[in-house]
């Protein structure tokens, strides 16, 4: 059976309260800053940068004000320093200050939260609060999503930042839901992250099932109504990996859970199609139109390997020079896909980051294939979130995508560190790690049978 996590869920020493609060506020800002930017006048610009400014200040205060911080590899600080230096040089050479700052932010934002979490005395204290916060964000987005897809593109609920109407509309005037995010991309990236978080929380002694179970159903409903192929594919990856974990355990209870999950999913699809026929039909029509109009496999391969044919210079054109901000200011042409943009902006460093990113994607796939007998449920679930993003998704395109990647990678790194702390190499079998699944091998199968 899948063993529940043992991450701390009770009261924490006072010195841990503020770091936990910092992470929770960061996750809440990621989930709700888009709503405030869309629906509260005057907050568009402030909340565009507030989250990353907040975590940067928190990181500096932690590093300077605490003697209990953990050292990070020198390569992390070298990367941060090089990006800041290249952005500064770009500004000195004539690039607008706003473009340089936004460019630097796009590369640093995905790592700031990770560095903060891993720099603190104990990283495991962040795990359960982060899971709970993600579940809350998902649950809030469920009714918002339903109202958005049932409302006209011009309705207030579908207002976009800087515009009065939704600009992603499927056939039949059915909007692509953006939820509490500034665009549908943020809503799409919430769903696999929330699904993975809810699955791990479901196997926790410290997270109420009144939170995790509704989140699972809510994410499934949002995925069916979202109008996003990316959301469907990303969620299916997470579900398949979860079923793989259950089947691999090969206990009666895990197999029963797998069959129950499949049956429940099929029932939810039937109910959703019955209750929201117009929305589902619009989604299916869009999928059909898109498959006719584009080479889907070619697009996916292009997202992964186009950087190899991107013109390469030593230093690139400067961080942010190929961003939408640069295009809006008339000083550049936006490159939508991450990796060609990295090569264009950062040159040789960008090319190296692309290679490293693909290697990381392969590593996440390997972490999934190692299975629960050599890993943990949390490692598998967040690898399932990160692998598609690393191989063919977007990380630095928007603040929402930067935040989603940072949160998922932080949870993954916590799971990795906690497993290493609680399971030394000499005792890799039979122990229960802190992230949701027994570290079991042949010598521990007896424990599984007794537990199941």
| DSSP codes of every residue in 32-82 | HHHHHHHHSTT-TTHHHHHHHHHHHHHHHHHHHH-S-PPP--HHHHHHHHH
Better pLDDT: 233 or 329: 233
Where residue 27 falls among pLDDT bands split at 50, 70, 90? very high
Q: How far apart are CA 66 and CA 103, in angstroms?
A: 30
Phi/psi at 399 (nearest 5 deg)? -55, -35
Where residue 373 falls among pLDDT bands split at 50, 70, 90? low
Q: How far apart are CA 79 and CA 76, in angstroms?
A: 5
pLDDT at 191: 96
Better pLDDT: 127 or 300: 127
Q: How far apart are CA 247 and CA 239, in angstroms?
A: 12
5 inside domain: no
- pLDDT tens, residue by residue, 34-93: 999 999 888 888 998 899 999 999 999 888 876 667 777 778 888 888 888 888 888 887
Tokens 């941060």 correspond to 80
Q: How many domains does the chain have?
A: 1
314 inside domain: yes
Where residue 426 falls among pLDDT bands split at 50, 70, 90? very low
Minimum mean pLDDT range among 149-153, 181-185, 201-205, 396-400: 201-205
pLDDT at 66: 67
Name the strand (E) or helix (H) holding 175.
strand 174-175
Start-to-end Cα distance in the chain: 5
For the cut 70, the answer to whether the pLDDT of residue 380 exceeds it is yes
For the cut 50, the answer to whether the pLDDT of residue 4 exceeds it is no
For the cut 90, the answer to whether the pLDDT of residue 432 exceeds it is no
Q: How far apart are CA 22 and CA 13, in angstroms?
A: 15
Q: Which two tokens stand for residue 197?
A: 């978080």
For the cut 80, the answer to whether the pLDDT of residue 136 exceeds it is yes
pLDDT at 413: 94
Q: Give mean pLDDT, residues 233-246.
A: 92
User: Are 383 and 374 spatial neighbours (Cβ–Cβ below 8 Å)?
Assistant: no
For the cut 50, the answer to whether the pLDDT of residue 295 exceeds it is yes
pLDDT at 189: 96
User: Are 242 and 381 spatial neighbours (Cβ–Cβ below 8 Å)?
Assistant: yes
1 inside domain: no
Residue length, the chain?
Answer: 452
- Residue 172, classed as helix, strand or coil, is coil
Q: Which stretches within 250-376 are classed as H helix?
A: 252-275, 277-293, 296-305, 324-328, 338-346, 348-370
Q: Give mean pLDDT, residues 108-128.
A: 91
Q: Which two tokens stand for residue 114?
A: 């990770």
Burial classification of residue 48, based on how many CB atoms lie within 10 Å of its CB (0-12 exposed, 13-18 middle, 19 or more buried): middle
For the cut 70, the answer to whether the pLDDT of residue 420 exceeds it is no
- Residue 244's nearest CA partner among 261, 267, 229 is 261
User: Are 316 and 344 spatial neighbours (Cβ–Cβ below 8 Å)?
Assistant: yes
Tokens 């909007």 correspond to 175
pLDDT at 422: 54
6 inside domain: no
Domain containing 219 equals 14-451
- pLDDT tens, residue by residue, 154-185: 898 998 887 777 778 888 889 999 999 998 99
User: Are 19 and 62 spatial neighbours (Cβ–Cβ below 8 Å)?
Assistant: yes
pLDDT at 281: 92
- Residue 376's nearest CA partner among 432, 424, 444 is 432
For the cut 90, the answer to whether the pLDDT of residue 137 exceeds it is yes
pLDDT at 3: 44
Q: How far apart are CA 166 and CA 184, in angstroms?
A: 10
pLDDT at 450: 32
pLDDT at 196: 96
Of all residues in the chain, what percent carry a pLDDT higher than 90?
A: 44
Better pLDDT: 242 or 2: 242
For the cut 90, the answer to whether the pLDDT of residue 431 exceeds it is no
Q: Which two tokens stand for residue 199?
A: 């699955």
- Residue 69's nearest CA partner among 78, 81, 59, 77 is 59
Partners of residue 160 on adjacent β-strands: 163
For the cut 90, the answer to whether the pLDDT of residue 357 exceeds it is yes
- Give the count of alpha carbons within 13 A of 349, CB side only: 19
Partners of residue 132 on adjacent β-strands: none
352 inside domain: yes
Q: Which two tokens stand for residue 343?
A: 């090569």
């Amino acid at each position: 059976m899948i063993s529940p996590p043992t991450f701390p869920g009770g009261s924490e020493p006072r010195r841990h309260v503020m770091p936990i609060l910092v992470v929770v506020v960061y996750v809440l800002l990621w989930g709700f800053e888009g709503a405030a930017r869309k629906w509260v006048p005057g907050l568009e610009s402030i909340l565009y940068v507030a989250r990353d400014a907040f975590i940067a200040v928190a990181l500096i205060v932690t590093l300077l004000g605490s003697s209990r911080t953990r050292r990070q590899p020198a390569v992390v600080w070298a990367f941060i320093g090089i990006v800041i230096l290249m952005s500064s040089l770009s500004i000195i050479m004539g690039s607008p200050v706003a473009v340089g700052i936004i460019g630097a932010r796009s590369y640093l934002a995905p790592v700031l939260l990770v560095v903060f979490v891993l720099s603190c005395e104990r990283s495991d204290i962040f795990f359960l609060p982060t899971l709970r916060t993600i579940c809350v964000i998902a649950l809030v987005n469920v009714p918002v999503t339903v109202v958005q897809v049932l409302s006209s593109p011009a309705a207030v609920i579908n207002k976009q930042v800087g515009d009065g109407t939704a600009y992603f509309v499927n056939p039949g005037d059915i909007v692509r839901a953006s939820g509490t995010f500034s665009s549908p991309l943020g809503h799409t990236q919430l769903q696999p992250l929330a699904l993975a978080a809810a699955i791990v929380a479901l196997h926790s002694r410290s997270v109420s099932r009144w939170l995790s179970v509704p989140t699972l159903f809510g994410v499934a409903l949002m995925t069916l109504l979202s109008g996003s192929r990316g959301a469907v594919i990303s969620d299916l990856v997470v579900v398949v990996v979860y079923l793989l974990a259950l089947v691999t355990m090969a206990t009666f209870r895990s197999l029963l859970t797998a069959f129950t999950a499949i049956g429940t999913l099929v029932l939810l699809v039937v109910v959703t199609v019955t209750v929201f026929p117009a929305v589902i039909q619009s989604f299916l029509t869009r999928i059909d139109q898109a498959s006719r109009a584009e080479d889907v496999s070619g697009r996916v391969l292009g997202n992964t390997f186009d950087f190899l044919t991107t013109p390469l210079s030593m230093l690139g054109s400067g961080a942010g020079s190929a961003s939408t901000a640069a295009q809006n200011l008339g000083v550049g042409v936006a490159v939508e896909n991450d990796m060609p943009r990295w090569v264009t902006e950062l040159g040789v460093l960008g090319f190296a980051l692309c290679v490293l990113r693909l290697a990381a994607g392969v590593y996440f796939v390997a972490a999934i294939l190692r299975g629960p007998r050599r890993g943990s449920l949390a490692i598998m679930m967040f690898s399932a979130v990160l692998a598609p993003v690393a191989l063919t998704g977007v990380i630095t395109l928007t603040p929402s995508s930067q935040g989603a990647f940072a949160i998922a990678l932080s949870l993954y790194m916590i799971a990795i560190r906690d497993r290493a702390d609680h399971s030394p190499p000499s005792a890799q079998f039979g122990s229960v790690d802190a992230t949701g699944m027994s570290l079991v091998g042949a010598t521990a199968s007896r424990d599984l049978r007794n537990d199941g």
